[in-house]
Amino acid sequence: MHRARRRIDEVRAADIMSTPAIACRPDTLVEDVTGLLADREISGIPVVNGDGEVVGVISERDLAHALGGPLMRLVLRGPVRTGPFLRDPVSRNGGRVQDIMTIPAILAHPETPVHTLAEIMVKEQVNRIPIVRARRLIGVVTRGDVLAAVAGLIHGGTKPEQPAMLIGPSSRDD
């Protein structure tokens, strides 16, 4: 049975977001995040506080900047930021996500049109946008999700909102 394709101008963030989103807390160890990104083959995740509000994003780019070095500059095609993390590499000394995450996070609402998400991603050079309701994380839209929507591979309706799946030590204490 073939389903009718939705018009791209009708597609909203809630239709294409991944939910539940995988996230971490600011005090999560950097090495825990690097393992998660590698294991799940994803390039970044939102960072949430104790109330589930998005406070930043941690990505492969943040990790590469923190690790520094000429190879990372070549991969990133730009200068490595300066900061204390370059003198004291976070991955080897129990560094925390809060030390290297990108802040503020660029956020969108579930009703944000897909074309607006695409514009934000291109303009801000980000690969993912946390989707929030009242600043609480309910999903994530990636570039891949936007491309799938443009290609007409989105058939279903709005995805149900779910709380984020948290990694790191703080998530076990809740």
CATH number at residue 157: 3.10.580.10
Q: Which helix (H) or strand (E) holds 62?
A: helix 60-67
Question: Does residue 108 lie in a domain region?
Answer: yes
Question: Does residue 140 lie in a domain region?
Answer: yes
Question: Does residue 132 lie in a domain region?
Answer: yes
Complete DSSP assignment for 67-83: H-SHHHHHHHTSPPPPS
Into how many domains does the chain fold?
Answer: 1
Question: Where is pLDDT greater, at 109 or 168?
Answer: 109
Task: Give residue 137's domain range.
Answer: 8-173
* pLDDT at residue 166 greater than cutoff 50: yes
Question: Does residue 56 lie in a domain region?
Answer: yes
What tens digit of pLDDT does each residue of 110-157 get?
Answer: 999 999 999 999 999 999 999 999 889 999 999 999 999 988 877 566
State residue 156's pLDDT score: 61
What tens digit of pLDDT does each residue of 76-88 get?
Answer: 555 444 444 444 4
State residue 153's pLDDT score: 79
Residue 27 binned pLDDT confidence (cut-offs 50, 70, 90):
very high
Question: Does residue 2 lie in a domain region?
Answer: no
Question: Where is pLDDT greater, at 152 or 19?
Answer: 19
Question: Does residue 3 lie in a domain region?
Answer: no
State residue 136's pLDDT score: 93
Among 86, 32, 88, 19, which residue's Cα sits nearest to residue 58? 32
What tens digit of pLDDT does each residue of 61-80 get?
Answer: 888 878 765 555 555 555 44
Question: Does residue 85 lie in a domain region?
Answer: yes
Question: Does residue 156 lie in a domain region?
Answer: yes
Q: Which helix (H) or strand (E) holds 32?
A: helix 30-40
Among 33, 27, 40, 94, which residue's Cα sits nearest to residue 64? 33
State residue 93's pLDDT score: 53
State residue 70's pLDDT score: 53
State residue 120's pLDDT score: 97
Backbone angles phi, psi at 154, to 5 degrees: -100, 120
Question: pTM for the whole thing?
Answer: 0.79
